[in-house]
């Protein structure tokens, strides 16, 4: 069983990329290869890529890409280099420190669900914004506000969230001679989809009826920080409002293209909008009860028997 990693980066992110690659080299189940997809120029930053430092080049295999597919470039290196349908591809982000047992844990779930793509964070998209639901494999306030129930046995989702690492099989995607026309053309067709690899990759898998499953016991990732600048302003999620607007529009666009025809079941109470509605209704009821008590004339017990 061949297991490879696939990743991309942008100019200026090399210090963080180095730390990410080191965490991938420290896995208790070694990756057979790590592919770094690099276009000639970053479309988003309008910058050429500086020469890679030797210490980065020694940790990965650089795969030149004809186009900058945005964040989707993270999977392109492996898709261009690997032909065997049974090869397992795990994608990573370039600003994350991965736990040493991440790869081995993903492979354990792969053995149980060999025909599924597997991760630990995801989205349910049955309803329109603000009735999306999302959860990550870390216990935080965002999960409590917008998350859905995730049993130990896992749950199928509409879209996998890639920052925490996602396992795919090469056979899930087109062969190299059909890769662009069947898959990679899409992020080049729309600026919002270009920025949302999670949505585009999962949308493509949905069109192939490939299960996307997440599990809560997959190790949580950590962010590159401390001595390295925690943010350089070039992160896609740096401007939260712009990120959310692009995210919403990208979902609408891929649905317009015919993806996500079937979506996973989710109750309104498991969505951000649904919880907001419930809280709002509860507050209104409480206010009405208080007003009713204040406006109701008080009668003493003595007057009631006169």
| Residue 202: inside a domain | yes
- Are 198 and 259 spatial neighbours (Cβ–Cβ below 8 Å)? no
Q: Helices 197-207 and 73-81 sit at what angle, rounded to 10 degrees?
A: 50
- Predicted pLDDT of residue 297: 75
**Residue range(s) defining the domain that contains residue 178:** 3-268
Strand arrangement of the beta sheet that strand 33-39 belongs to: 61-65, 33-39, 3-8, 88-91, 166-169, 116-119, 211-214, 155-156
- Are 274 and 267 spatial neighbours (Cβ–Cβ below 8 Å)? yes
pTM (2 d.p.):
0.89
Residue 252 sits at the vertex; the CA angle it makes with 250 and 256, to the nearest 5 degrees, is 115
| Tokens describing residue 290 | 């208080």
- Predicted pLDDT of residue 191: 94
| Residue 111: inside a domain | yes
CATH of the domain at 14: 3.90.550.10
| Residue 294: inside a domain | no
| Residue 86: inside a domain | yes
Q: How far is the C-alpha of 202 from the C-alpha of 55, rounded, in Å? A: 33
Half-sphere exposure at residue 193, Cβ-oriented, CA atoms within 13 angstroms: 21
| Residue 221: inside a domain | yes
- Predicted pLDDT of residue 295: 85
Each residue's pLDDT tens digit, 101-145: 999 999 999 999 999 999 999 999 999 988 989 888 765 555 555
| Residue 48: inside a domain | yes
| Residue 64: inside a domain | yes
Domain count, the chain: 1
Residue closest to 263 by CA, chosen among 127, 63, 115: 127
| Residue 290: inside a domain | no
- The low-confidence residues of the chain, meaning pLDDT below 70, are 138-146, 223-239, 298-306
């Amino acid at each position: 069983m061949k297991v490879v990693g696939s990743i991309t980066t942008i100019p200026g992110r090399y210090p963080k990329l180095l730390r990410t690659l080191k965490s991938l080299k420290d896995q208790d189940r070694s990756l057979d290869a790590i592919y770094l997809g690099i276009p000639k120029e970053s479309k988003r930053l309008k910058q050429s890529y500086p020469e890679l430092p030797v210490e980065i080049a020694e940790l990965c295999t650089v795969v030149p890409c004809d186009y900058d597919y945005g964040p989707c470039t993270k999977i392109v290196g492996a898709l261009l280099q690997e032909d065997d349908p049974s090869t397992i591809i795990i994608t990573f982000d370039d600003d994350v420190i991965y736990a040493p047992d991440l790869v081995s844990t993903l492979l354990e779930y792969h053995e149980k669900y060999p025909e599924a793509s597997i991760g630990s964070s995801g989205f349910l998209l049955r309803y329109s914004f603000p009735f999306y639901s999302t959860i990550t494999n870390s216990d935080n306030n965002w999960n409590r506000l917008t998350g859905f129930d995730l049993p130990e046995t896992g749950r199928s989702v509409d879209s996998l969230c890639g920052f925490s690492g996602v396992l795919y099989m090469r056979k899930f995607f087109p062969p190299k001679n059909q890769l662009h026309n069947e898959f990679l053309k899409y992020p080049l067709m729309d600026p919002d989809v270009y920025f949302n690899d999670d949505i585009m990759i999962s949308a493509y898998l949905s069109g192939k009826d490939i299960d996307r499953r997440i599990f809560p016991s997959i190790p949580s990732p950590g962010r590159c920080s401390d001595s390295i600048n925690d943010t350089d302003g070039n992160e896609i999620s740096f401007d939260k409002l712009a990120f959310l607007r692009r995210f919403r529009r990208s979902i609408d666009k891929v649905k317009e293209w015919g993806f996500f025809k079937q979506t996973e079941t989710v109750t309104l109470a498991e969505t951000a909008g649904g919880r907001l509605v419930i809280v709002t209704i509860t507050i209104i009821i409480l206010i009405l009860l208080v007003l009713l008590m204040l406006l109701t004339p008080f009668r003493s017990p003595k007057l009631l028997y006169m």
